[in-house]
Amino acid sequence: MRIAYLTNQYPKVSHSFIRREITSLEAQGFEVMRYSIRKTPDNLVDPLDTAELPKTKIILASGGLAMLWAVACVKMRHPIGWLKACLEVFRIGWRSERGLLIHLVYLMEATVLYRWTKKDKVQHVHVHFGTNPTTVAMLCKLLGGPTFSFTVHGPEEFDKPTGIHLNRKIVEAEFVVAISSFGKSQLYRWCHHDEWPKIKVIHCGVNANFLETPLRPIETSRKMVCVGRLCEQKGQLLLMQAAKRLRDERLDFELILAGDGEMRHEVEQLIKRYRLEEHVTITGWQSTGEIVELIEMSRVMVLPSFGEGLPVVIMEALALGRPVISTYVAGIPELVNEQNGWLIPAGDVGELAKAMREAFGSDDQKLEEMGRQGRKMVAEKHNAMQEARRLANLFQEYGGRKKSRVEKG
């Protein structure tokens, strides 16, 4: 079966989970085309991401003339589909967060996608994130293109469900994937209960590079690592406040921030203000191998997020045998518990500092046992190949239904 994956930006530093899902599907015999709305601005540091670049078609890179030509061809050859898509654009564009003009651009992007899927003989499009790429896939379907499904991660989709017309997308999709039970419950909120059966939970996962790596002893490390984009929702500013408390207590520790992002300057300013230069280091973006090394060198992984779906880096840390400090947010409590880490209220600097203090004060054997429990849970629930099989079954089930409909027609 030939399918296509569509995202807003691919390949991307923070989207390794999409790459793993694609490669796991290919290992099961699927042909997967990679489509992206735009090229990522990130500097790719992982060779595995770099290898995806030549495999990926970028819609906006086709240029304005090519997009206008795609519009003209689709409008002329498929007038009914063009009319349906135009009506949908006006229907959702007037009441959207981004307005009618941007939705007209989405329609142009959909015409390019339509021509690509026809040329590449794509049978189905799967989209990651329920924002603008799913809008493009939906319009492509209305033009007469292949059916689509999409994975919702959160928190963005749940912050503005009416603004992105999440309900309309659920209605038009063949099925919808939530990455956690929490995500499934939020999708239930924004669609009619008749649509509930099409909402499935399929977890993001890690591959054998994490699950089969021999666990490294903690070796009395005084390091703690936080992996993620430097942005408001990840809580690094609060983490700096907690680190200041530990420094004021004269605790010996090193905190490594592995990542980059729009709030790097603010984080650096707090490091200077709190005189944390000897305790906190920002590495910038790291490759998968470098992230593995940083996690294995650390005592625990900390991620004090304010808003999430279910962070893949938590799965990676637990798979590598390192306990996790994180927050009672979204799907995180479905993975982190008292057996493999610490869960704290989001936004509570006192509880965050307390958990960090306990992690540094716990003996190595206790932390290693917590890490083993974490790896066991990840192996059971977040094995990338296992989850891809479940997704593959949905694609095959859909393919069987489509074939049956065609034969009856």
User: Looking at the whole model, is its pTM more than 0.85?
Assistant: yes
Q: How confident is the model at residue 40 (pLDDT cuts 50, 70, 90)?
A: confident
- Based on the domain organization, do 90 and 232 belong to the same domain? no
- Based on the domain organization, do 184 and 324 belong to the same domain? no
Q: Which domain holds residue 400?
A: 2-205+384-408
- Based on the domain organization, do 130 and 262 belong to the same domain? no
- Based on the domain organization, do 22 and 166 belong to the same domain? yes
Strand 147-152 and strand 223-227: the pairing is unpaired
Q: Using CA atoms, how far apart are residues 127 and 125, in angstroms rounded to an integer? A: 6
Q: Domain total for the chain?
A: 2
- Based on the domain organization, do 221 and 322 belong to the same domain? yes
- Based on the domain organization, do 115 and 231 belong to the same domain? no
pLDDT of the residue at 96: 79
- Give per-residue pLDDT as tens, 43-95: 788 899 999 999 999 999 999 999 999 999 999 999 999 999 999 999 999 87
Beta strands in 172-317 (DSSP E): 176-178, 199-201, 223-227, 254-258, 280-282, 300-303
CA within 13 Å, CB half, 392: 20
Tell me which residue of 161, 167, 155 sits closest to 195, measured CA to CA. 167
Q: Using CA atoms, how far apart are residues 322 and 370, in angstroms rounded to an integer? A: 7
pLDDT of the residue at 401: 59
- Based on the domain organization, do 404 and 279 belong to the same domain? no
The partner residues of 363 in beta bridges, in order of sequence, read none
Q: Using CA atoms, how far apart are residues 315 and 320, in angstroms rounded to an integer? A: 9
- Is-contact 324 318, C-beta < 8 A? yes
pLDDT of the residue at 98: 84
- Based on the domain organization, do 361 and 404 belong to the same domain? no
Report DSSP state, residue 230: -
Please name the residues in contact with 406: beta carbons below 8 A apart, sequence gap of 6 or more: none
- Based on the domain organization, do 254 and 148 belong to the same domain? no
- Based on the domain organization, do 155 and 22 belong to the same domain? yes
Which whole-number Å values give the CA distances from 204 to 201, 357, 395, in the listed order? 10, 30, 17
- Based on the domain organization, do 48 and 146 belong to the same domain? yes
The burial class, CB within 10 Å (0-12 / 13-18 / 19+), for 104 is middle
Across 246-273, b (16+ Cβ under 10 Å) vs e yields: bbeeebebbbbbbbbbebbeebbebbee
The CATH number of residue 218's host domain is: 3.40.50.2000
- Based on the domain organization, do 106 and 255 belong to the same domain? no
Q: How confident is the model at residue 399 (pLDDT cuts 50, 70, 90)?
A: low
| Average pLDDT of span 109-123 | 97
- Give per-residue pLDDT as tens, 348-369: 999 999 999 999 999 999 999 9
User: How many Å is the Cα radius of gyration of the chain?
Assistant: 22
